[in-house]
Structure 1
């Protein structure tokens, strides 16, 4: 059955908006070429979208730069405002942006969980409100939150975990209460980092890959055929619990000590560095583990630094080889602050070791976004959800 005229118009509007979002400002002639619609249909949709406040004339194109055919139409960026949060055990970072992802204001704040759940939540919410005010946003359309821990695939809520502070779970509800008009959603931090590395970083050319998160803790995000996989309970990628040799014993259902985390988590990396006479630099905003890995990479002639990187590569290769054996992704990105700090040097050492033990060809790449990938991924997700709502085909 052919679509009704109103439905066809709605579909055409969304098609034009998708092109404007991807390509930037376009003339009516360019929209006609990209959409394949007739000139009258393009003229009608431009009028509808302009009247709806979704697009506006943002300039002119062409040598003459005058006349209706030269008008450049672009999405109205301030049609909606977004917020993204990166919630860590020790603090929270916030960015507020327009509909196209242009950053308007951002800030970060350490959170002292020892002060109690209520005060910790209030500090985080107050930070969000302050950044929103600094951005000049009247209200938020969508809030995307990245947090450690499991996200229930049915409810979309952060699940209970003995390893996470209680203020993490309370924060989502508090934000929804204080920002009743906003759509608030939470996603696992490693999954968001993978989306960001795929859009803007090391996996930009991959539809199938695994991001191995190396930061305060360890985790993995799985993208297969362009789809982020979460698993039946939201636990895909909980690689910190992977039983591996070289630990004091297997992990338990409530504690990843003894799992891969015990070999490649931040504390384990700092301890390993100490065994080779390396100490973490003075804090400069990055985790100590990232600092010591970066320092080791920058000392190519140092025997202790080289042996430290070799041993660390041995450990990381256990996780990568396990991922390759089960999923055969063809590419593993070493993400997080440690993956970024290790760069090409650490990635090459890991890949060489994986090649020895796995028959499946697996390219190992260094993440380029580091810890910033979580916030970037949260912003991308918030923007996508806002656009899905604002640009959704509606019968007129």
Structure 2
């Protein structure tokens, strides 16, 4: 007897399976975003029938993805509906980030929620991969979980991640490890591991805010020790052909001499980094008669003072950042700039407001400027977010 099945019958048989897979993934994403839900709530939000919702809940519970976590609060007499939530405490992700000679690492539950454990190490003389592995393994140990329960690890780096190899490309801060970072990390960490630029991770983290999650585009401008940008398009960072998209610190700008093609021994000069990077803003402090110190400290003071000199410094910093925003807006028109990095966070809302004011003076385009929500560990939060998305794709199937 022939085993041949006509194509139309194959499609007919596949359709219910595909529909179930799609519904399962939609439901799991729903639990991840909204927390515990009843069968009726799942039915109403997904727009499926009651029998389909019942079957879906049974299927996800049998697969070990969800479990009963309580009962629905109810004002009317009668039985209360069971609430289901994602199974927690079983699978985890690890994140790490390198910035300003600090290595931070954290563990997150695949089900979501705040980081379970965060450690911060100061970079020392040991090989950098060993220190990153130590930070990650320390966070795993302190979280009290087995290393085998880590589904995915994401590490943020201050530089370009080569799109072709996935390894560290050009990095001003980590020149020794160009093309040599990924393999030793993978040897020291058992779970699948990948590198991503820290600014891109910060943008992914900021993009989880309710008012940004559904925006088609926005740009995160990083202003701290270094300068960077990430354009988010439909929830994903624009990486570029080689992985170098957003390296705006190397952009020649008005008011500065043209930079050399290759960095000299003392670093690039005459680019955007020299105007709004920490070194450039310290030079501005000296030029304006302030004693040597931290630009962030001065910007915090300016945000709470009417002193003309302090306001003058705040205004000039804002003007310089606005030059960068106007240049970027003329090319990609993001509509919204999120300011991140130590300088941006120190300046806070007053700096963001002044940047938007200066932007509108120099550009006919429309853009709003706001301060980032994550003040300390935006890149680390982004690493955990990306790790969860990748691990969920493996565990749950389909796209996030």
Decide: shared fold, TM above 0.5. yes
Q: Which one of 121, 125, 128 corresponds to residue 133 of structure 2?
A: 125
Q: Secondary structure at the match of 1:159?
A: coil
Q: CA deviation at 1:169?
A: 5.8
In the alignment, which residue of structure 2 is the partner of 1:384?
389
The answer to whether the 8 A contact 1:144-1:378 is kept is yes
In the alignment, which residue of structure 1 is the partner of 2:30?
19
Q: Which one of 290, 293, 296 corresponds to residue 299 of structure 2?
A: 293
Unaligned stretches of 5+ residues in structure 2 = 1-10
Q: CA deviation at 1:330?
A: 1.9
The answer to whether the 8 A contact 2:98-2:156 is kept is yes
Take 2:254 and 2:198, find their aligned partners in 1: how far apart are those partners? 27
Q: Secondary structure at the match of 1:230?
A: coil
Take 2:223 and 2:153, find their aligned partners in 1: how far apart are those partners? 25
The answer to whether the 8 A contact 1:29-1:69 is kept is no
Take 2:333 and 2:75, find their aligned partners in 1: how far apart are those partners? 55
Unaligned stretches of 5+ residues in structure 1 = 282-287
Q: 1:223 to 1:71 in 2, by over 3 A?
A: same
| Range with greater deviation from structure 2 (67-76 or 214-223) | 67-76
Q: Say yes or no: does 1:44 pair with 2:49.
A: no
The answer to whether the 8 A contact 1:202-1:365 is kept is no
What is the aligned-residue RMSD (CA, Å)?
2.6
In the alignment, which residue of structure 2 is the partner of 1:334?
339
Take 1:387 and 1:318, find their aligned partners in 2: how far apart are those partners? 40
In the alignment, which residue of structure 1 is the partner of 2:219?
210
Q: Which one of 179, 185, 201 corresponds to residue 175 of structure 1?
A: 185
Q: Which one of 197, 204, 208 corresponds to residue 188 of structure 1?
A: 197
Take 2:351 and 2:365, find their aligned partners in 1: how far apart are those partners? 20
Q: Say yes or no: does 1:269 pair with 2:275.
A: no
Q: 1:177 to 1:69 in 2, by over 3 A?
A: farther
Take 2:82 and 2:231, find their aligned partners in 1: how far apart are those partners? 43
Take 1:358 and 1:251, find their aligned partners in 2: how far apart are those partners? 28
Q: Say yes or no: does 1:109 pair with 2:157.
A: no
Please give the per-residue CA displacement for 1:227-281, whole angstroms capped at 9, x wherever unaligned.
Answer: 4211111121111111113324424244542100000001111221233343466
In the alignment, which residue of structure 1 is the partner of 2:94?
83
Q: CA deviation at 1:341?
A: 1.2
The answer to whether the 8 A contact 2:129-2:185 is kept is no
The answer to whether the 8 A contact 1:150-1:235 is kept is yes
| Range with greater deviation from structure 2 (355-364 or 271-280) | 271-280
Q: CA deviation at 1:200?
A: 2.8
The answer to whether the 8 A contact 1:98-1:104 is kept is yes
Q: 1:362 to 1:82 in 2, by over 3 A?
A: same
What does 1:27-42 correspond to in 2, within 5 Å? 27-42=38-53
Q: Say yes or no: does 1:73 pair with 2:73.
A: no
In the alignment, which residue of structure 2 is the partner of 1:346?
351
